[in-house]
Amino acid sequence: MRRTLTLASVLLVGCATVVSGNVQEVELRSQPPGAQAVIRSNDGLVQEVTTPAKVVLRTGPTHVVTVSAPGYRSATAVVGKTINWWAILGGPLAMYDWVSGAIYDLDPGVLELRLPPAPPEAATTGPSEGKD
């Protein structure tokens, strides 16, 4: 009975799920450091961190990172995905990898965003003072 349960659990779980799991650590960096980063995932999860930071993200959803800091324009990037080759090796067992999101690896593992300086605000001028 124990062998049957072990064999069934191996057959029901894909290679990528076993080897890599369905979460991955991504390092967020910014220039300048100390910026606020908001990570929005299409599964509804929202995380906020201060750069530099390491965050754990699920590999299935798409993640959009927006970084902002006072005196700078914000920058946005999407954490990309690549195919996890362990899922390919799983053959028909990879169906579970598709469901769990383990079919993907997040790329890049380190995301660095450079924030461009904000344009200077137009100087406010008061009424001109004329000399008589």
In terms of average pLDDT, the best of 3-17, 42-56, 89-103 is: 42-56
**Domain assignment of residue 28, yes or no:** yes
Secondary structure letter of residue 106 according to DSSP:
E
**Token digits for 104?**
């993907």
**Token digits for 40?**
């929005």
**Domain assignment of residue 30, yes or no:** yes
Secondary structure letter of residue 13 according to DSSP:
S
CATH number at residue 108: 2.60.40
Residue 90 pLDDT class (50, 70, 90 cuts):
low
Instruction: Name which of 83, 88, 78 is nearest 104 in CA terms.
Output: 83
Strand partners, 63: 41, 79
Question: Residue for token digits 């006072």?
Answer: 70
What domain range includes position 108? 21-114
What digits encode the pLDDT tens for the residues 7-51? 444 444 444 444 445 678 999 999 999 999 999 998 888 999 999
**Domain assignment of residue 73, yes or no:** yes
**Domain assignment of residue 13, yes or no:** no
Statement: the pTM of the whole predicted model exceeds 0.75: no
Average pLDDT (93-119) is 74
**Domain assignment of residue 89, yes or no:** yes
**Domain assignment of residue 7, yes or no:** no
Q: Quick one: which H or E segment has residue 99? A: helix 95-100
Percentage of the chain modeled with pLDDT above 90: 40
Under the phi-then-psi rule, with left for phi > 0, alpha for psi from -120 to 50, and beta for the rest, what region is 5? Answer: alpha
Number of domains in the chain: 1
